[in-house]
Structure 1
């Protein structure tokens, strides 16, 4: 019996030593297998600095760590870095590491750290992420679009993470720019099932720009959401969720459906509360450092719908409304209160054509030191030569304004601004200085330093 136990003990020790030594003995061979699989699956150059392998940390799976991985585009984006990551960690079956080049590797867990992803569509509509290798039948006949059998990685995930990363999407054709910085995202679910719930947590700083106009500028956005996944139909439905833009809470419902030639979107969102303090949450962080202690009254409501097809020619239709009634605010260290704040604004698109998106502000009023200021505006052609139709009337005592709103240091205000403006202009006229500027005859002893103010009337169209 002792002899048998001794033999078993020696065998177990040998297996443990082999498991410890294998990653070091086979590291170069495994690294080459990974590179071959990636490069044979993608029409891009894939490389990484080194591979670390552990057979214990994710047992019974192996843990594979690829360091300084980069994906470099070929034509027509030759030399561009599509993707880079300091470290990518994968958990996968041990024996998959020894598959032949033509056999896929199954991934159960994925962690991406300190990554940069740069997605781009050029003026011709070509996308730099379209790098999947197609079979020869696709090359010979446009009507046959059968992808090559997967010879790289199969993502049968239970958990994934993206940490401290950045993502950019630039579409030169539609002039859309989306930037996500300080991106942290994780999801837990079972991708092996046709239908399951994916639990997700996302945080990022978001910038969105359309035709040179920043509609969202480095805003903190977070989302905690359960997503019902139907992988056969490629339909993803939002269930319980909690979203925030800066500190503005939003509830989001609806679905995203990935079709063969388009994406169907049907989303609704709203603020769960109507406190006017929510308005200040939309102000970027660097401009709202003095909000502590601010008092507000009245309401602020955001609600909207986004639905329709997303294709090369269409965007979803949208109806996004923002309103406030009988609101006021006062900063704790300033004597003046801004009262009777009322406004309605809407971002609308009823056709799905990007050029038909417009901003309507039918009414906006506030009262400062007993004087009421009112305005209304219509902004059209947002993606082309933007056109602004603006009216504004009222009297603003600039000294009182400085006593109601904190401005940057070394900025001083003095004088009375008497507004009586009705103007229509386009941005090309502004850029080409094709504007007539009236003398400030209705400004009394106006001094604004270091800010320079001009009044525009009757711009040339």
Structure 2
């Protein structure tokens, strides 16, 4: 029995040990799963920041960082929350990327012991990407540091991370793209995309899925895709070799709205060229599904449309693409006897026929591109549109054949296509155009070899829209075509209170259309009334409506849209416009007899001999508006204003108010000539700091009242009459630069007081003027005269021999006017001038009687000292007030900073306590206590910096106040 008992105990002991060590191992493993992320979290975060700083010039910010292994064991999961990449310099404040979260799965052993951390998958959650390319080609995505900006260590040091991707995913992304040089933009809304495949292998079966709620692409103002819903499955066989990388399309299908396409073939990349053989197949789509891509149709609901007819679309691209060659292509579109109609409308488009092809052969010669639209035809309610086009040798010498025939009753449009509620069309469109020949015939002025004939006529057109609120009426508009030009024979139109009449010619219209050459034209424009307030009000409501629609549709602000149009003139437009308008209403002003010439050429608008009557006088203008750089348009303008109402001028033009703030408080007529040059913003606001120029000013009579500097001057000199003045025959000249208008010395008579004035006014309303005033004795306040005469009487009593006379008829006074227009600071030597006006009594006494000098000196000194003490007391009072005000401001800044600092510390302490209290076990509590302490420390540092900065500001305020007080000495 004993041995059996022993063996039983031994077995029991082994079992216990297995349980014991198993439990210990489990606890250790659990502890490792908890602690390993803690140990490596800071290390990986620092590596992320280091790698970003090494590679990027953008500002990286990460709101939160986490590392875990429990959910994805044996992979480590790194999560970066609220990741932002913001631009610098011209892209300051523009976020290239704003990510809600970035998740990456890391190879466990590469984190524990490797030199590089391997990233096996990446997930981008709700990325918002905002790409911008400026007019000069600089792009905000160009954020990778060039080697010239890297240190030698950054260049030689390998990356801390190695991509070993097996998969990636984009979830709920938003992408916007604006390319100003390319004049195109795009928006992708709610993008979801994923890719799977071992990208580290030499041969990869790569599978991708893509969906997007709305894709919009606009180029040159034309929406090629508008809110297109996209669903794509694209599978690739990717073969990475030493000499090339080949991508072969396998199962794939791309659906745009309802239009389905698939592709077949391959694309191979060599070091110095590409090779491809790709085919497009849209045989599974119908004519109805093709229509779903038309923006205006899609927005009104293609799903319910009634359609019929056959449709075929196919194409191929085959051959090599090098720096000098392009591959061959051949695309065909055929639509036969098709129709479509909206179910709730009485009629639709019938007998639609389209036969189109474009092809070229492999090679460098782009002249072998051929475009053929053999037939385009449709009919609706008795209207017909027929067209065909052939284009050959488009690069060297475009050879075009175009025929267009259209007869349309505009009133019938609402019967075949939806129109907005309250919108209506009336009138006739008649077009019959034939073009045939080579551009070289026109270039060589051999017009007989080029056939261009026909017309485009609009007659009795009426257009109503609730967006406009006013009916647009085109009585007639007649274009005629010939080889040399496109002639606008006549145009008679009305809108609201405004009427328009114009005629002229447009030259080189074919060169503009086919080769992007300069379009030239000359027009005469006449009107008896232009109500710009009404027109711009309508445009504004349109723009707001368009903006609302755009925001709803998540469409981009395309190049060529209002964002750019406000400040951009095309560089290939050369127009000459002669204008004569009897009356214009603009921003509350009435302008009569507007006439002059406007020239548009090479992105510059030139004004020549523009004349108008307004604001009670006449205005002449000349100069230019240069938009070669639409981000910073440049103006160079000259004005000649005669007998204008000064208050109207200040009320209507912000620049005048900035240049001469006194104008707002004046009444009367002025004349001025000025020239100015400077930059504008892209929104056409003048950059006042950039303005330079000069001019002169004249008025026979203006009345000024309520102008604070004059009011303060009147109070300082104790001469109330100065606060309101009628100024006669004022003439001055000025110039401006560095954000200031400098007034050259000029003479001004304020009542009976003549003054010489010079100084400057800044565009931020700071002022600094010096005045030399000659004040007549009868303008000096009686109480001041009494004090001075009493002092003179005392002198004469003590030294009768001096016989000091009274004040002279004129007392010179120096005045400094500083501060701002609304808060001027006036300093004068008026009191000193009054005391000095009788001469130097001390020297007179010394010359008269040497033996009584001490007695006379004491007497005179006492009289003068009494007045000096008065001045000193005033100075001391001013000093004390300056220091007291400064101390009050400094104390307020410190108190506010302390209040904010206390809030920061309290909030951090609250968060720290909540962090610790949320711990579920002692280990977690210990870890959280460390984080809580760090949270308190960061808050204390931030609060301390706030208090330190406030103390610096307070010290600076006190130092500046002391400096101002010391200057009063």
Shared fold (TM-score, shorter chain, > 0.5): yes
CA 1:187/1:446 → structure 2, altered by over 3 Å: closer, same or farther?
A: same
- Aligned match of 1:239: 250
Aligned equivalent of 2:464: 449
Q: 2:678 maps to what in 1?
A: none
Residue of structure 1 equivalent to 2:586 = none
1:7-31 CA deviation, whole Å, 9 max, x = no partner? 3312321320231244345433331
Matches within 5 A, 1:395-406: 395-406=407-418
Moved more, 18-27 or 330-339: 18-27
The aligned counterpart of 1:190 is: 198
What displacement does 1:45 show? 4.5
Within 1, Cα distance between the matches of 2:420 and 2:478? 22
Indicate conservation of the 8 Å contact 1:211/1:382, yes or no: no
Question: Could you tell me how far 1:55 is from its partner in structure 2?
Answer: 0.5
Contact kept? 1:41, 1:151, Cα under 8 Å: no
Deviation at 1:66, TM superposition (A): 1.0
Q: 2:314 aligns with which of 303, 316, 319?
A: 303
Contact 1:82 1:117 in 2 (8 A): yes
SS of equivalent to 2:200:
coil
Q: Call closer, same or farther: CA 1:328–1:111 in 2, change over 3 Å.
A: same
- Give the aligned partner of residue 217 of structure 2: 208
- 350-359 vs 390-399, which deviates more? 350-359
Q: 1:312 to 1:14 in 2, by over 3 A?
A: same
Once the two structures are TM-superposed, the CA of residue 222 in structure 1 deviates from its matched residue by 2.4
Compared CA separation, residues 107 and 74, structure 1 to 2 (3 A): same
The two structures, once aligned, show a CA RMSD in angstroms of: 4.2
- Provide the rounded CA distance (Å) in 2 between the counterparts of 1:398 and 1:240: 47
Within the candidate set 222, 225, 250, 2:234 is matched to: 225
Alignment of 1:27-38 (within 5 A): 27-38=41-52
Q: Whole-Å Cα distance in 2 between the matches of residues 206 and 416 of structure 1?
A: 36
Q: Please state which structure has a larger fraction of its residues in helix.
A: 2
Corresponding position of 1:280: 291
Q: Which residue of 2 aligns with 1:393?
A: 405
Which residue of structure 2 lines up, in the alignment, with residue 143 of structure 1? none
Contact 2:430–2:456 (CA under 8 A) maintained in structure 1: no
Of 412, 415, 421 in structure 1, the residue corresponding to residue 424 of structure 2 is 412
The TM-score normalised by the length of structure 2 is 0.40
After the TM superposition, which residues 26-425 of structure 1 pair with which residues of structure 2 at under 5 Å, given as runs? 26-42=40-56, 44-72=58-86, 81-98=95-112, 103-118=115-130, 129=141, 150-168=158-176, 175=183, 177-204=185-212, 205-232=214-241, 233-260=244-271, 264-273=275-284, 275-284=286-295, 287-306=298-317, 318-346=329-357, 361-377=373-389, 391-422=403-434
CA displacement at 1:286 relative to structure 2: 7.5
2 CA distance for matches of 1:254 and 1:287? 31
Structure 2 spans left out of the alignment, 5+ residues:
1-13, 437-453, 466-470, 487-505, 508-969
Task: Report if the CA contact (8 A) 2:334-2:354 is conserved.
Answer: yes
More deviation in 410-419 or 296-305? 410-419
Cα deviation, residue 78, structure 1: 7.5
Q: Which has the higher contact order (CA 8 A, sep 6+)?
A: 1
Report the Cα offset of residue 364 of structure 1.
0.9
DSSP-derived class of the 1:18 partner: helix
How far residue 150 of structure 1 moved from its aligned partner, in angstroms, is: 4.4
Residue pair 1:82, 1:119 contacting (<8 A) in 2 also:
yes
- Which ranges in structure 1 are unaligned for 5 or more consecutive residues? 141-146, 425-435
**Can you list the C-alpha shifts for 1:41-72, whole angstroms capped at 9, x where unaligned?**
44554442221111022211111111122334
Give CA deviations for 1:217-237 in whole Å, capped at 9, x if unaligned. 332232112111113333222
Residue 191 of structure 1: how far off its partner (Å)? 1.6
Contact conserved, 1:41 with 1:150, CA < 8 A, in 2? no
C-alpha contact 1:99 1:105 (8 A) present in aligned 2: no
Relative to structure 1, the CA distance from residue 182 to residue 316 in structure 2 (aligned partners, 3 Å threshold; closer, same or farther) is farther
Q: Please give the alpha-carbon distance, in whole angstroms, between the structure 2 residues aligned to 1:120 and 1:263.
A: 28
Q: Does structure 2 retain, via aligned residues, the 8 Å contact 1:274–1:299?
A: no
More strand by share: 1
Instruction: Specify the SS of the correspondent of 2:480.
Output: coil
* Offset, 1:113: 1.2
Bigger drift between 53-62 and 32-41 goes to 32-41
Please give the secondary structure, in 2, of the residue aligned with 1:335. Answer: coil
Partner of 2:29: 15
Q: Is the 8 A contact 1:294 1:331 kept in 2?
A: yes
Q: What is the CA distance between 1:295 and its match in structure 2?
A: 1.9
Distance 1:85 1:250, change over 3 A: same
Change (3 A) 1:254 1:326: same
Q: Compared with structure 1, are the counterparts of its residues 412 and 171 closer, same or farther at alpha carbon in structure 2 (3 Å cutoff)? A: closer
Report the Cα distance in structure 1 between the residues aligned to 2:258 and 2:143, rounded to whole angstroms: 39
* CA deviation after TM superposition for structure 1 residue 301, in Å: 2.3
TM-score, normalised on structure 1?
0.78
Higher alpha-carbon deviation: 347-356 or 181-190 = 347-356
SS in 2 for 1:58: coil
How many Å separate the matches in 2 of 1:125 and 1:393? 42
Q: Secondary structure at the match of 1:48?
A: strand
For 2:167, what is the secondary structure of its paired residue? strand
Change (3 A) 1:358 1:402: farther
